[in-house]
């Protein structure tokens, strides 16, 4: 109605400005000025449902070609970020299978047609994963554009009555600890019982540069690297006071173990 009104008034008044405005409105309504960079549109994206025995999280994107001709589509994956907790987002753990960090040709999307592409993140712990993956899309040499696929693999049939005390306790298996190395692809392989959460293993160098001298050890119960504190044995000062010969060989290793036992008190954390 607006277009018809403008056209009628333009013909009567011979107002070329009004006529030009009317023409622009008509052309825009016909799609003549559609952004050529958006002929391929993402009309749907997310993740497929994940079941109890699923071994992968499948991400999908539906591409729609709104143009009158076919278009070659290329895609390059960016980073994937997992939201472990509200204040814990890790963008180093998740990588998609079989997709190199370069543009990959997906093939043609025919005119006025849709195609769905899928990407897999293989993991035995595919449920209860929340995060996003970014992609860069290219069509027929036009400027690249980005799209983010958000995913949440929390099952629809989640038992709300099951509440585990830790983030990395398996809700599907009576809150038993997960296998941290598998769930986090080796990046958080230590399970802390007190928090029920997987942590990165503390880096630990237990030998000096000569490769022989032992300088510390990894405490696998506390996930810290402990540096030995070298000191004389208990009889050292007795030898000094009695003016007797001081033994040249001192069992420092034994003294260290005695110093730290039974609960590794006052140990020095050198993992930082």
Please identify which residue in the block is written with the tokens 């050529």: 36
Q: Give the pLDDT confidence score for residue 25 in this predicted structure.
A: 35
Domain hosting residue 79, numbered range? 40-152
Instruction: Read off the pLDDT of residues 210-222 as tens digits, 9 standing for 90 and up.
Output: 878 888 889 989 9
- 262 assigned to some structural domain: no
Any idea what DSSP says for residue 207? B
- Do 62 and 122 lie in one domain? The reply is yes
Q: Give the pLDDT confidence score for residue 14 in this predicted structure.
A: 45
- Do 186 and 146 lie in one domain? The reply is no
- Residue 224: count of CB within 10 angstroms of its CB: 19
- Do 118 and 181 lie in one domain? The reply is no
User: How many angstroms separate the CA atoms of 60 and 46, rounded?
Assistant: 6
Exposed/middle/buried for residue 130 (C-beta within 10 Å: 0-12, 13-18, 19+): middle
Q: Give the pLDDT confidence score for residue 126 in this predicted structure.
A: 96
Which helix (H) or strand (E) segment holds residue 43: the answer is: strand 40-47
- Do 88 and 135 lie in one domain? The reply is yes
- Do 106 and 186 lie in one domain? The reply is no
- Do 58 and 133 lie in one domain? The reply is yes
Given 152, 180, 210, which residue is the final one in a domain? 152
- 14 assigned to some structural domain: no
* Residue 18, φ and ψ in degrees, nearest 5: -65, -40
* Domains: count for the chain: 2
**Is 154:128 a contact under the CB 8 Å cutoff?**
yes
Given 152, 187, 219, which residue is the final one in a domain? 152
- Do 105 and 191 lie in one domain? The reply is no
Encode the chain (272 residues) as per-residue pLDDT tens digits. Answer: 444 443 444 444 444 433 333 433 333 333 333 334 468 899 999 999 999 999 999 999 999 999 889 999 999 988 999 999 999 999 999 999 877 777 888 888 998 899 999 999 999 999 999 999 999 999 886 788 899 999 999 988 777 778 899 999 999 999 999 999 999 999 999 999 999 999 999 998 888 888 788 888 899 899 999 888 765 555 555 555 555 554 554 455 444 444 444 444 444 444 43
- 86 assigned to some structural domain: yes
- Do 148 and 174 lie in one domain? The reply is no
- Do 124 and 173 lie in one domain? The reply is no
**Is 137:144 a contact under the CB 8 Å cutoff?**
yes
Q: Give the pLDDT confidence score for residue 3 in this predicted structure.
A: 45
Q: Give the pLDDT confidence score for residue 243 in this predicted structure.
A: 54
- 255 assigned to some structural domain: no
- 73 assigned to some structural domain: yes
Q: Give the pLDDT confidence score for residue 103 in this predicted structure.
A: 81
- Do 145 and 194 lie in one domain? The reply is no
- Do 145 and 60 lie in one domain? The reply is yes
Angle between helices 16-29 and 2-13 (to 10 degrees): 150
- Do 125 and 190 lie in one domain? The reply is no
Characterise 262 by phi-psi region: left (phi > 0), alpha (psi -120 to 50), beta (else): alpha
- 18 assigned to some structural domain: no
User: How many angstroms separate the CA atoms of 97 and 115, rounded?
Assistant: 20
- 218 assigned to some structural domain: no
Q: Give the pLDDT confidence score for residue 208 in this predicted structure.
A: 84
- 110 assigned to some structural domain: yes
User: How many angstroms separate the CA atoms of 168 and 199, rounded?
Assistant: 10
Instruction: Read off the pLDDT of residues 166-191 as tens digits, 9 standing for 90 and up.
Output: 999 999 999 999 999 999 999 999 99
The terminus-to-terminus CA distance of the chain in angstroms comes to 71
């Amino acid at each position: 109605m607006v277009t018809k009104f403008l056209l009628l008034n333009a013909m009567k008044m011979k107002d070329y400005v009004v006529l030009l405005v009317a023409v622009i409105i008509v052309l825009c309504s016909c799609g003549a000025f559609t952004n050529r960079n958006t002929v391929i549109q993402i009309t749907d994206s997310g993740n497929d449902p994940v079941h109890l025995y699923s071994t992968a999280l499948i991400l999908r994107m539906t591409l729609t070609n709104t143009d009158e001709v076919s278009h070659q589509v290329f895609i390059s994956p960016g980073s994937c970020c997992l939201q472990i907790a509200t204040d814990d987002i890790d963008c180093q753990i998740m990588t998609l299978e079989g997709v190199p960090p370069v543009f990959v040709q997906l093939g043609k999307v025919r005119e006025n047609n849709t195609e769905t592409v899928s990407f897999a993140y293989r993991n035995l712990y595919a449920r209860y994963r929340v995060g996003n993956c970014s992609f860069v899309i290219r069509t027929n040499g036009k400027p690249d554009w980005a799209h983010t696929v958000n995913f949440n693999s929390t099952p629809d049939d989640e038992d709300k009555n099951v509440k585990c005390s830790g983030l990395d306790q398996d809700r599907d298996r009576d809150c038993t600890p997960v296998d941290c190395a598998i769930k986090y692809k080796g990046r958080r392989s230590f399970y802390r019982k007190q928090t029920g959460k997987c942590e990165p293993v503390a880096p630990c160098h237990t030998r000096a540069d000569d490769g022989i001298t032992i300088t510390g050890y990894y405490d696998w119960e506390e996930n810290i690297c402990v540096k030995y504190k070298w000191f004389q044995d208990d009889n050292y000062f007795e030898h000094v006071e009695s003016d007797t010969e001081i033994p040249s060989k001192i069992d420092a290793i034994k003294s260290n173990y005695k110093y730290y036992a039974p609960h590794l008190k006052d140990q020095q954390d050198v993992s930082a």
